[in-house]
Amino acid sequence: MLSLVVSVQSYAPGASVTAPLTASRSAAVRMMSDFAEEIGIPCEGDCEAIYTKLPESVKPGVVTGQALVDLLDYAKETGFAIPAVNCISSSSINACLEAARKNDAPIMVQFSSGGSQFYAGKGLDNTNYRAAIAGAVSGAYHVRAMAEQYGVPVVLHTDHCAKKLLPWMDGMLSASERYFETHGEPLFSSHMIDLSEEPMDENIAICKEYLERMTKMGMLLEMELGITGGEEDGVNNEDVNPEDLYTKPEEVYEVYKEFTKVEGSRFTIAAAFGNVHGVYAPGNVKLDPEILGRSQVYIAEQEGLPQGTKPVSFVFHGGSGSDIKDIKQAIEYGVIKMNIDTDTQWAYWSGIKDFEAKYREYLQTQIGNPDGADKPNKKYYDPREPMRSAEASTSDRLGQCFADLNCVNVCGLNPVQEPANVLGPRRGGLPC
């Protein structure tokens, strides 16, 4: 059974950033309340939508600042983790939002540097990571435009940023700083900086610099300790020293001590406990979630916190293909975010594969199929058809992730209604 623990200090208090109630914001609040009624979120006070089960600060749409802290603390207290899914297109984002709505849960949408570049289009020059910056910003605006429509809280995040990728981070932070000037909140909720390949001192020092910059906007930093093995997004850690796959509690405490010195800072730690990116044959990955539990105990002792306190919020990388027992145990030890990439990559692809297998004979020529030599095949090779199959398959697979992470029915939304498609695809969206 999960113990109910009130977390302290993993995010130092104070410095909460709230948006000024400008005219555009109050108009947005009114729009939101109409829409909130439709999807069954009750309204309160200024007619702002509130979820019955989540902290009051958490609203539909992208969650930042204090609302993000409240959401993650609530997850740790009540024993669930939020799936963080690597997205590469509006299609994969929509599949995530759909899955979150169906499972009545918050979700994290994240972009890797490669995924960001892909979002911009691989035909665009990526010198100085300019395409990756533009792609991440574009994806962020898509999430911001659509998350409220699905009625779910979304944490907008980016994945591994190694030292050489820091210009990508700088570009995204500049975009958030500009967004902050107008809207009183950052464009992104949080970012990950992964300097686990660098010496420990350098990892902490550089991350701390970024943490200071991000804290001014109420942003959260995820940092990595130890190395996640395997291969992802072109980074190959298949041959690292096995010892580096396991973090030590003393190292976690060192990060905790340094980061809590930044007033008002919010951070999570992706502490390696044998995690590997990718899916391998059973027996090849040896996870040791006890490392997380021992770290919490060690830090609580060092800081004189009450027994059972979980001072740190952990992130689980390389979770695809993990034993459910390890996942549940990791959540018990303070994991509030689990990254999902490989399993949804497979789900997206298998949706396309199954579609092709089902309609193979309708997909070989523009005209002519088993129903007749003069029958057109347009409605089968329209890219929306295989892509929709991929989205549905991804959304279904995510249902299993939400269940594994105890992240089902956590918002208190009404059941999803059958979508009403006003215009069929064959009219091309144009009224007759």
**Residue 34: enclosing H or E segment and its boundaries?**
helix 23-39
Give the per-residue SS3 of 54-86: CCCCCCCEECCHHHHHHHHHHHHHHCCCEEEEE
Residues 28-87 touching Zn ion, rule: CB under 5 A, are none
Q: How far is the CB of 112 from Zn ion (least distance, A)?
A: 9
Residue 29 burial by Cβ neighbours in a 10 Å radius (0-12, 13-18, 19+): middle
According to the binding rule CB under 5 A, does residue 208 interact with Zn ion?
no
Closer CB to Zn ion, residue 157 or residue 317? 317
**What residues contact residue 351 under an 8 Å CB cut-off, 6+ apart?**
386, 389, 390, 391, 392, 393, 394
Closer CB to Zn ion, residue 237 or residue 295? 237
Closer CB to Zn ion, residue 266 or residue 317? 317
CA 261/CA 263 separation, integer angstroms? 6
CA 113/CA 327 separation, integer angstroms? 26
CB 274 within 8 A of CB 286: yes
Q: How far is the CB of 88 from Zn ion (least distance, A)?
A: 15
Stretch near Zn ion under the rule CB under 5 A, chosen from 77-85, 278-286, 315-323, 407-415: 315-323
Locate tokens 């960001």: which residue? Answer: 116
Closer CB to Zn ion, residue 35 or residue 346? 346
**Residue 134: enclosing H or E segment and its boundaries?**
helix 130-150
Site string for Zn ion, 228-257 (x = CB under 5 A): x-----------------------------
CA 390/CA 385 separation, integer angstroms? 9
Query: Known catalytic residue: 159?
Result: yes
Alpha carbon 81 to chain centroid, angstroms: 11
CB 34 within 8 A of CB 28: no
According to the binding rule CB under 5 A, does residue 317 interact with Zn ion?
yes
Q: How far is the CB of 158 from Zn ion (least distance, A)?
A: 11
According to the binding rule CB under 5 A, does residue 191 interact with Zn ion?
no
Closer CB to Zn ion, residue 76 or residue 317? 317
Stretch near Zn ion under the rule CB under 5 A, chosen from 141-149, 293-301, 311-319, 393-401: 311-319
Catalytic residue among 70, 73, 104, 159: 159
Stretch near Zn ion under the rule CB under 5 A, chosen from 47-55, 226-234, 345-353, 354-362: 226-234
Q: How far is the CB of 319 from Zn ion (least distance, A)?
A: 9
Q: How far is the CB of 279 from Zn ion (least distance, A)?
A: 13
According to the binding rule CB under 5 A, does residue 157 interact with Zn ion?
no
Q: List interacting residues with Zn ion (CB under 5 A).
A: 228, 317
Q: List active site positions.
A: 159
